[in-house]
Amino acid sequence: MGLLSKKDAALITDPLLDNNPITIQVLGICSALAITAELKASIVMALSVMAVLALGNVVISLLRNVIPSKIRIIVQLIVVAALVIIVDLILRAFAYELSKTLSVFVGLIITNCIIMGRFEAFALANKPWRSFLDGIGNAAGYGLILVIVGFFRELLGSGTLLGFKVLGDPIEKTGLYALGYENNGFMLLSPMALIVLGVIIWIQRSKNSSLIEEH
Amino acid sequence: MSKRTDSNGYTIVFAIIMVLVVGALLAFFASSLKPNIDENKRLEKQQNILYAMGVNENDESSANFVSTTVAGAEFVKYIKKQIVLEVDGDVVTSQQNRDEYMAENNNQEPYLIDIKQQQTFAKEGKQRKLPLFIGEKDGKTFYVAPIYGKGLWDAIWGYVAMDENMVVQGAYFDHKGETPGLGANIKQRFFMDDFIGEHLLTENGDFAGINVAKGNNDPKNEEKTDNEVDAIAGATITGNGVTAMIKADLALYVPYFKTLKK
């Protein structure tokens, strides 16, 4: 990446794999289980978190020298809550159907540990540009896992991707269904998201043994 | 180490300024986006009402509204009349058509009547207004009534389309925050479609409502006069909420349907 120095680029690439907020830091699990039954909801959740985290990191970073340390957690909470409410209002004004699907989960963004975690661990100690990159990187790492889980859950659970019937029609018995294939309704339930997530963590750690903790 | 930002005075001043700035920002967004949000809600109500009477773009499994771009035109095309009723016991005491209602109520369309607010009026002993939307499609007349109640976590509501014998012709349910995969399934086809053809009245003509019943001995829902549909596993309280709102709100329309028979 010519635009970014090596150090800055690492802020984006690290959280994608070796320091992924979900699979390595095990943050943001709640929303990863809740909304990944469809690929579309995963993508929207990932983008919403990206917007909130990048903006929030910048705001916190700009304020880092003036925030009183005694109430810094409350200040972080106010910043993220305000941003989330604004995102929610914008969704309700311009993407109403989507906002209804996400209405339950918009509140989950506020309590998403990734956001508070990055504010506290990174933005309070770094300059705005680096904080911005850190926010994008971590949200991308979070989003990547969400999209992978959403992809498998929607494909195996409903036989669709983004609503398109990629495996044929289950009622008319076309495509794969003609061969006797059936959708697995269990994939649509949250427990399967945890299992998919577990498989992702397993694969990741088997590829990179330095990630395995010693006990 | 003593920093300027550690003093109590600074902390309090910072907190006050922060609250003022954030408050102003949120107020600005909320008021500038309100027209768009209100318009979305208005179109959604039209889509809901049309959905209940069978004007929708359902495919074989999922529920789809007519698109927002045509909802307004379709609403005018299919909904022939909007009336607002007042009932007292078994008697319809007042029946206003759309123009009469709008003249008295700041040009508010009857389909925008806030059902929750009307329920509060009834509790306070004031007269509750009952909107009813009369639609026609393929030569059939549909009477669509709004219902509102509570589920497990938050509000649930819906629209039920009936014929003149109070036999359900279509239903749409929605919720604010029911559990995804469980209570949230009340807005899925498999649940809403079960209501189609169900009778709200018993054979004697008394109002019985429709029970969302566990232990229903008719899970395939072939019996349409048993006043029961099959419940969703894991969503007992949401299902009970649906039963309750159908019973409470649709019973109020019985006097009107009796006048149709005369």
Contact state of B40 with A93 under an 8 Å Cβ cutoff: yes
Q: What is the pLDDT of residue A29?
A: 82
Q: Which residues of A touch B5 (CB under 8 A)?
A: 65-69
- A38 vs A143, which has greater pLDDT? A143
**Residue in A with minimal Cα distance to B16:** A75
Nearest Cβ partner for A104 among B11, B33, B180: B180
Mean pLDDT on A116-132: 90
Decide if B220 contacts B125 (C-beta within 8 A): no
Q: What is the pLDDT of residue B170?
A: 93
- Which residues constitute the domain of residue A179? 22-214
Instruction: Please say if the pLDDT value at position B180 is more than 70.
Output: no
Contact state of B26 with A82 under an 8 Å Cβ cutoff: yes
* HEC letters along B12-45: HHHHHHHHHHHHHHHHHHHHHHHHHHHHHHHHHH
Strands B168-175 and B155-162: antiparallel
Mean pLDDT of chain B: 88
Residue B59 at interface with chain A, using a CB cutoff of 8 Å: no
In a domain, A206, yes or no: yes
In a domain, A5, yes or no: no
In a domain, A155, yes or no: yes
Q: How confident is the model at residue B236 (pLDDT cuts 50, 70, 90)?
A: confident
Q: What is the pLDDT of residue A3?
A: 66
In a domain, A150, yes or no: yes
pLDDT digits (tens, 9 = 90+) for B41-85: 999 999 999 999 988 888 776 788 888 888 888 899 999 889 999
Nearest Cβ partner for A70 among B11, B30, B33: B11
Q: What is the pLDDT of residue A1?
A: 46
Q: What is the pLDDT of residue B116?
A: 92
Q: What is the pLDDT of residue B2?
A: 52
Mean pLDDT on A65-81: 88
Q: Chain B neighbours among A 105-164 (CB < 8 Å)?
A: none
In a domain, A170, yes or no: yes
Cα separation, A169 vs A97, in Å, equals: 25
Size of the A and B interface in Cβ pairs below 8 Å: 66
Q: Which tokens sit at B179?
A: 């559990």
Question: Quick one: CA dihedral A57, A63, A65, A67, positive or negative?
Answer: negative
Phi, psi (rounded to 5 degrees) for A63: -90, 0
Q: What is the DSSP letter of B127?
A: P
Instruction: Please say if the pLDDT value at position A171 is more than 70.
Output: no
Cα separation, B114 vs B169, in Å, equals: 23
Q: How far is A147 from chain B (nearest CA, A)?
A: 19
| pTM, entire model | 0.73
Q: What is the pLDDT of residue B47?
A: 92
Contact state of A189 with B181 under an 8 Å Cβ cutoff: yes
Nearest Cβ partner for A68 among B14, B37, B181: B14
Instruction: Please say if the pLDDT value at position B173 is more than 50.
Output: yes
Q: What is the pLDDT of residue A33?
A: 82
In a domain, A30, yes or no: yes
Contact state of B181 with A85 under an 8 Å Cβ cutoff: no
Q: Which residues of B touch A171 (CB under 8 A)?
A: 60-61
In a domain, A72, yes or no: yes
Nearest Cβ partner for A171 among B5, B60, B180: B60
Q: What is the pLDDT of residue A16?
A: 82
Mean pLDDT on B109-121: 91
Domain count of chain A? 1
Q: What is the pLDDT of residue B1?
A: 44
**Residue in B with minimal Cα distance to A35:** B180
Q: What is the pLDDT of residue A107?
A: 72
How many helices (H) does chain A have, and how many strands (E)?
A: 8, 0
Q: What is the pLDDT of residue A61?
A: 93
- Interface predicted TM-score (ipTM): 0.75
In a domain, A116, yes or no: yes
Percent of chain B with pLDDT over 70: 95
Nearest Cβ partner for A69 among B5, B18, B22: B5
